[in-house]
Amino acid sequence: MRPKANAVLKLFLAATLFVAVGYAQDDQYKIRAKVDLVVVPVTVKGAGDKLITNLKQEDFIVLEDGRKQTLRNFTIDPVPLSAAVVVDTALTADSLEKVQKTLPALAGSFSPFDEVAVYRYDKFVTKVLDFSNDTDRVQTAMNAVNKIEPRPTTTTDAAGDRSPFSIPGPVINGAPVVPPANLGIVSTLPPKPSFVLNDAIFAAAADLAKREHSRRKMVLVISDGQNTGSDHSMEETKQTLLESGIQVYSIGIDQPFPYSKTSALDDYAKTTGGDAYFVNSKQSIERSYAAATEEARNQYLLGYMSNNEVAGTSPVFRDIDVKIAGNSYKTLHRKGYYQYP
């Protein structure tokens, strides 16, 4: 990156600036004014989801809670990424195998200037790699995910068939062996599985929040979107993402069209200004990796001083809407932010 552009970007991405003005001779009467710089990364798409990259500052209309805002900063300079890759290893055997075959392409979608962390989850979240721009370490982490065996979806009955209604545990002559402690309480169903999607995204967001402000922060989650057993709610997780300026790019695996429009993966992407891709082939998965990283790296960066004020002592959520003047282009951006007193 050019030194000048990097310096401007570091200044531009400071989420909150505090300035002291109106100093009196007596220091005890010092007057302080708080100025909030709201930063909004925006992706613009035209027909066929083609990225639009030739717009100017005057082409953008930004509304906050319906009130038009005046842009103070504008840039489209590409920036390096801090990317947290989150892989759902509780996918079905076929889906997991498909994802594992694409991981070399995922590693190759990042540039030497990007830093990447890798997480996997099923009923627990595991950090496979902390943030690194060493391509060999990233590839090694991907190889580790490749070695994960798919979760068993059924138990084996006496005939050797896999059936969800088989009785777990050892059998003798086709009859289950019931331990003494379980006499009279025989369960015929396996325990309900957990898929802690919210916890995985929350963990990635907590780590991303600590990275440098000069980087674009993204979670790239590869999952079927199921979530059960998470300690963190979706609303709590989305608030953490919004407060830290983190975008979620979702790769939805083997999900039908109606489900994709109500999926948590789509919700996370729309709320944070990322994007969602619902794919079902090795080739389409690989294309989605390249599309997600290209979008995240090449966004318009808009900045304005909010003309709204918080009346009380609690933070207020402000809705943001970005439009393109005289055009019907699609804009992707975070849906709002929390304004503090």
In order along its 341 residues, the chain shows pLDDT tens digits of 555 455 544 544 444 333 333 434 444 444 344 557 999 999 999 999 999 999 999 999 999 999 999 999 999 998 899 999 999 999 999 999 999 999 999 999 999 999 999 999 999 999 999 999 999 999 999 999 999 998 765 443 333 333 333 344 444 444 444 454 444 444 455 555 679 999 999 999 999 999 998 899 999 999 999 999 999 999 999 999 999 999 999 999 998 877 777 899 999 999 999 999 999 999 999 999 999 999 999 899 999 999 999 988 999 999 999 999 999 999 999 999 999 99
Q: List the CATH code of the domain at 81-151+193-297.
A: 3.40.50.410
Residues carrying CATH 3.40.50.410, the chain = 81-151+193-297
Tell me the Ramachandran region of residue 221: left when phi exceeds 0, alpha when psi lies from -120 to 50, beta otherwise. Answer: beta
Whole-structure pTM value: 0.79
Rounded distance, CA 105 to CA 114, Å? 15
At residue 214, the pLDDT reads 85
What ranges make up the beta strands (E) of the chain? 16-21, 31-45, 60-64, 67-68, 71-75, 81-88, 115-121, 125-132, 155-156, 162-163, 171-172, 175-176, 216-223, 247-253, 275-279, 300-305, 316-324, 330-332, 336-339
Closest CA to 295 of 335, 337, 250, 261: 250
At residue 35, the pLDDT reads 58
At residue 190, the pLDDT reads 55
